[in-house]
Structure formats: C-alpha cells, structure tokens
Amino acid sequence: MTQTASAPRIRSVALVGNPNCGKTTLFNRLTGLRQKVGNYPGVTVEKKEGIIRFADGSIAEMLDLPGTYSLIPHSPDESIATDILLGRYKNENPDLVVCVVDASNLERHLYLVTQIIDRQLPLVIALNMVDIAEENGVNINKEILTKRLGVPVVPVVASKGIGIDNLKRVIAEANHPVGQSRQWKLPSLVDQELNELMGLLADHHQLSAPIAFHESVLLLSSGNGSPTNGNRYSQQVLRHLQQDHNRLDAAGIDRQSVFVESRFQLVREICASAVEKKESGKPTISDRIDHFATHKVWGFIIFLIFMGLMFQAMFSWSEIPMLAISNGFDWIGLQVTRVLPAGPLQDLIVNGAFAGVAAVVTFLPQILFLFFFLGILEDTGYMARAAFIMDRLMGKVGLSGKSFIPLLSSFACAIPGIMATRTIDNPRDRLVTMLVAPLMSCSARLPVYTLMIAAFIPGITLFGFLSLAGLTLLSMYLLGLLAALGTAWVFKKTLAKGTPSFFIMELPQYRLPSVQSIGRQMFDRSWQFVKRAGTFILGVSIVLWFLASYPRTENATPAEQLQQSFAGQAGKIIEPVIKPLGFDWKIGIGLIGSLLQREVFVSTMGTIYNIQDAGDGSVSLQQKIRDERDPETGKPSFTLLTAICVMVYYVFAMQCFSTVAIMRKETGGWKWPVFQFAYMTTLAWLFTFGVYRVGLLLGGA
C-alpha cells in the first residue's frame, strides 16, 4: 500500500472534511491528479487514491474521502469516510489526517474537527477558501485557532494553488500532534456515565480509548431499548447502558442533544476567540440569485429554459462541426479506396472499421455540448438548487429531491448517476433511484436519437428560434424523465414501500463556472467517447463486418449478400419478436449489436448500410436510411414512425452492460440488475408497440 523514495515519515494521508469544502480540488493540487470536482455536495462518493510528493523526494499515499458532516454516517458515501477514520478499513489507521475546513463556514466545519480530534489521530487543518472568507468580511486568527485546537492550521486557497507548498511542508513534518481530546464540557453526570461506559467497553471488547469513547457517545445518545447494533456488545455492557439511560433520563438530560450541543458550545467559544466577522447586513449575490432561481414560479421556468437551451445547442449548434467530422471521415475513406486495391481488405477497412467508427465519432460535438452544460450546472452551484426545486415533484412519486441529482447526472451516463445514489440515506429511496436512473437518456443514446432525427424530422424552425429537431430531442429526454418518475412511483408503491426520507441539502454559494474545470471535464468525457469508438466500437464494427459479409454467396447483389450473411440470419431470427414494433431484420441486427452499448446501434447501421450499398461513401447514413425500400413492396423500409419507434425503444431499453455491472456492484448481487434489465426491456417493447399501433391508426405507415 505504501511506498517511499527516501526515509519514510508519513506513509498514508487521509483527506477528510464536510461535503463541498474543496477536498478534491486540494487532492488534485497535492497529487497532480485530475479527479472530478464540482460545486455541490456529493461529487465524491468513493475514496480516490493518489501519491503526494514532498520537496525532499519522499512520497506518501493520499486518500481523498467522500465528504461527511460527522463520524456518525447516514449514507453509504459517509460510511466510506467514517470507516477509514475509525480504523475499520483494512484495520489500519491513516498516519495523518488532513481535515479540509471551509474558512467561510468555520463554525459548522469545526464540528467534524472536534470529532476527529477526539479520535486522537495526527491531524492537520487545511483552512481552505480563506479568500472567500475575507471577501465575506471573515477574518480568522490562525495562531489562536492553532492554539485552541492544538493542531497545525494551514491557510490555503486550493482553487488557486495558494498555500499548497506550505501545506505539503507541514504534512511532511514528523510527529504531528493529535490535538487535545474532549475539550468540550459535558454535564458532570453525563461525563461520569460516559467514563464508566468507556471503561466497560475497553475491558469487555478490547477497544482503544478513542474508539471506546466514540462508541460510548453513540450508545448513550441512542434511543431507549437495545441499540440497533446491540448484538455487538456483551450483556453486561447492555445492562449498564440501560441503567445509564435511566439515570440520565431521570435527571432530565436530553441524551440525544447533549453531545452535539456541547461540541457546538466549544466551537462557538473557539470561533468567538479566533474569528472576527463584519456583518454587512446586505443580501449577498447568492441571496439575490436564490430569490429568483428557487422562486416558486421563476425557479421552474429558469430550470426549463436552461434545459431547453441545452438541447437546442446540442442539436442546432453542433450541426457544422458534425458535418465537418463526417466529411473528414468520408475523405479519409476515399483516400483508402484509392490506395488499396478492391477486395476483402479494402472492404473491411472502408465498410467495416471506417463506417462503424465514423458513424459514432460524428456525434462528438453533441457530447461536448452536453458536458459543457452539465459542467455549468455542477460548477455554478445550481445543481443543488435544481434538487431543491424538484423536491416537491420527487415527493409526488415517493422520493425526495436528493434523488434528483443522481437522475440529472444520468443524463451524462447512468454509471456516475447510480454511484451518486450513495448520498441518499434512505436505502429504499436509494434502490428505487438506482433502478430508474438508466431511464434517463444518457450520452450513449444521443447518437441514436440524432441519427433518427436527422433522417426524418423536417428542418422546421418554430417561433423563429426553436428547431423542431431540437424539440424532438428534448421530448425524448423528457420521455425518459417521465418514465423514470412513473416507474419510481410504481416501485415505491410496490417493491420499496415507505415514506420518502426527509430532504435537507446544503446549498453552496454561487460562483462563476471555472473554464478550466468545465474544459477538463469536456475533454475527459469526450476522450473516453473517442477511446471507446477506437477500441470497443472498432472491434464490434470489424466483427459485424465479418458477420454481415460472410458466408459469401456467389452472384448475389450486396443486398442479397447481407440478407444471407450470419448477421442477416440473426436479424431474421429475431424479426418475429420485433416485427410488431415496426422493425425489420436490419434494425434487429442493430438491436442485437447494441446490447452491450447503445451507440453501437449507429455504428452497426453504418456498417450494414455501407455493405449493402457496396461502400458508396458519397451518400450519408441518414440519406441511405431514408432511401431504403422494401424489395417486396417497394415502399420505404424506414418511415418517420419507424424512427420514432426506434427512439422510444432506446429511451426505455437497458442495452448497456456497464450499467448492469455497476448495479451488481452497488446492490451486491445479481437480483436487482437482472430485474432492471428485464423490466426495462419489457417496458421498451410495450411502449414501442403502443406507439407503433397508435402511429398506424393515425396513418403513420
């Protein structure tokens, strides 16, 4: 786990703090890594590892932990942090804890600090965002704070890289102090009971003094009767605990509030001596923005305008760069046909590899726009407001606003969306949110929607600025959202009955979005997209080319050859199942090909239409799909109704192996991923069938 280049001093450092205090920004500064950051609580939901290098060449392992408000976890992400701080992870303690504290919210953040000090681990305080604190008229006396806490306090501005070298120097020092434990004062009776219980726990369960203290506080502040984890303790401990409860209750002491209140009393005293604050009394910029952004009427309108703008940009503004990429691929394909002689190799490269990869990479500009807008949501602090605005709506389906952030994150990809559910404290709400998150239209569906829209939706503009294509795209995303909400309602009434958990969420101060942060996220996600196109999709395209080109049939036209190929036969086998949806065997090949990843549908279409048209690169895939005719009837194979049905099918269908894998990891078994795959595929079939039948009745054929 630990490596050192020279004399080992500090080998492992844990970075902890309240949510959204800038831990990951500091982690990136200290390790040189580029973990995702954002301006809302719950960006980091799992521990991240990196290496910190000191000036003398020595190194240490650094852990960036999910944010937690206290050492009593309320959600899976908080458990990760508290397990490490309480020595439950690999039964090891970190050599040093760096607690990141938001200087502009010192009073609240010091609560966790007092708990970590009681844990008696070597500690350094990174006093982050001192610039914002000063702007807000908050002046912190570092010397007094250091003296009162008994541990080093290092002011930093992680976002600007200020104070990082100094922090590294302090981290590298040997013999870090652990701080003065239990400076907070309890009523004497509580103190006495606490000490007795600590002694019993230490004797009966061989707990170290800090852990015995932590557990004693938890036990004394728990409700009456056996604690929920009572089977961990000996009968003697439990008997003693019951007597403690009785004595404290008889003395009229509120056991649940006394510990928290005592800590906050200490925090108030420390802040009174170390913090000077000039109250301006004027509303802050965040106050003014919140007045509109969370207004009961304006708030929802602003949210809808933002989402509308995002889809408009994704469709209309990306048109020119998409065309440029498409033309670029066509040009390269043409050069290859000139250089290579006609034959299987040229066919493989042009019709197999090139057609498949080009069909997907063309959509890169849309992916970039999607992540640009999601980056703005995350970086400005608006994400948490969106959760606040949506809490009421989420409450109607049995969830709370906390579920909205994972759902919104799933617009990018269901995997981070499902992982973001770790911030949800109610297990039933978390399960339901995980089950419905893949119904939100992710970036992998975008190429499918765009291909269908570009081929069949007329280029009409409404009200002079809204394109029909953009609106169609928005409707697909809304359909996914409504499907997620409707399904959640059903699940909360059946599988996971129960009232929604309470909603309380920290709303960060608004800030201007960081060009660097958004640019980095756009680059990282688009690079992932291109890498996937160059690896997985390339591989699938080559395999598909083979399956669509063999076995060879003598004297057959390209269309007949495709029909008699392995892929054609597979498409024919599933045709009876998909025929009621208005799909033919070629779409069937696309559905089978994209079982593992949705965007493979587009590359599959690219490959099979190129093979069928013998590599005619002068015509776009959209045009080829539009011109396709049924050889028996002579009617168009693909119609507007077929395109809508394909989009509706992809709104509901799971078609993503990575999501199945992450569901298995997060739920700890195969039951829920299998259920999820089954219900989504069933919904996809039923809804597409319904849309097709209604479309036929309306004359859509």
Binding site for another protein (CB under 8 A): 69-70, 72, 74, 104-108, 111, 221-223, 256-257, 260-261, 264, 286-287, 290-291, 294-296, 299, 384-385, 387-389, 391-392, 395, 400-401, 425, 499, 502-509
Stated as kind and residue range, the H or E segment containing 695 is helix 671-697
Q: Which positions ≥6 away from 93 have C-beta within 8 Å?
A: 87, 121
Kindly tell me which of 187 and 576 has the beta carbon lying closer to another protein. 187
SS3 call for 350? helix
CB of 390 to another protein, least distance (A): 9
Residue ranges of alpha helices (H) inside 251-363 are 255-274, 285-293, 298-312, 319-339, 344-347, 355-361
Q: For residue 618, what are the contacts with CB-CB under 8 A and spacing of at least 6?
A: 330
Q: How far is the CB of 506 from another protein (least distance, A)?
A: 6
- How crowded is the C-beta side of 65, counted as CA atoms within 13 Å? 27
Q: Which is nearer to another protein, 184 or 692 (CB)?
A: 184
Min dist CB 74 to another protein, Å, is 6
* Least distance in angstroms from the C-beta of 398 to another protein: 14
Distance CA 156, CA 140 (A): 13
Nearer to another protein, 269 or 560 (CB): 269
C-beta of 406 vs 568, nearer to another protein: 406
Q: Of the two residues 2 and 257, which places its CB atom closer to another protein in the complex?
A: 257
| Closest among 187, 184, 182, 189 to 244, alpha carbons compared | 189
Q: Is the dihedral of CA 332, 338, 341, 343 positive or negative?
A: positive
Q: How far is the CB of 603 from another protein (least distance, A)?
A: 43
Strand, coil or helix: 677:
helix
Q: Which is nearer to another protein, 73 or 152 (CB)?
A: 73
* Nearer CB in complex with another protein: 81/313: 81
Residue 618 sits at φ, ψ, to 5 deg, of: -80, -15
Q: How far is the CB of 153 from another protein (least distance, A)?
A: 18
Least separation, in Å, of the C-beta of 66 and another protein? 16
Per the CB < 8 A criterion, the answer to whether 208 and 154 are in contact is: no
d(CA 113, CA 109): 7
Q: Which is nearer to another protein, 60 or 293 (CB)?
A: 293
Rounded CA separation 314/412 (Å): 13
Burial class for 618, CB neighbours closer than 10 Å (0-12, 13-18, 19+): exposed
Nearest to another protein of 292, 657 (CB atom):
292
47 versus 74: smaller Cβ distance to another protein: 74
Distance in Å, CB of 469 to another protein, minimum: 32
Q: In the bound complex, what is the minimum distance in angstroms from residue 256's beta carbon to another protein? A: 6
Q: How far is the CB of 302 from another protein (least distance, A)?
A: 11
* Secondary structure of 186-213 in HEC code, one letter for each residue: CCHHHHHHHHHHHHHHHHHHCCCHHHHH
Shortest distance, position 486 Cβ to another protein, whole Å: 20
Beta-sheet pairing, 461-462 with 466-467: antiparallel
Quote the CA–CA distance of 610 and 607 in Å, as a whole number: 5
Of 223 and 539, nearer to another protein (C-beta) is: 223
Cβ neighbors of 31 (< 8 A, separation 6 or more) are 50, 51, 52, 62
Using the minimum distance from each CB to another protein, give the nearer residue, 31 or 136.
136
d(CA 533, CA 536) in angstroms, rounded, equals: 6
Decide whether 240 or 385 has the Cβ nearer to another protein: 385
- For residue 245, the minimal CB distance to another protein (Å) is 12
Smallest separation, CB 69 to another protein (Å): 5
State how far the Cα of 466 lies from the Cα of 147, in Å rounded to an integer. 61
Q: Quick one: DSSP state of residue 280?
A: -
User: How many residues are listed for the chain in this entry?
Assistant: 701
Helix (H), strand (E) at residue 353: none
Backbone torsions φ then ψ of 247, nearest 5 degrees? -65, -45
Strands of the sheet with 123-128, listed across from one edge: 48-53, 59-64, 12-17, 96-102, 123-128, 153-155
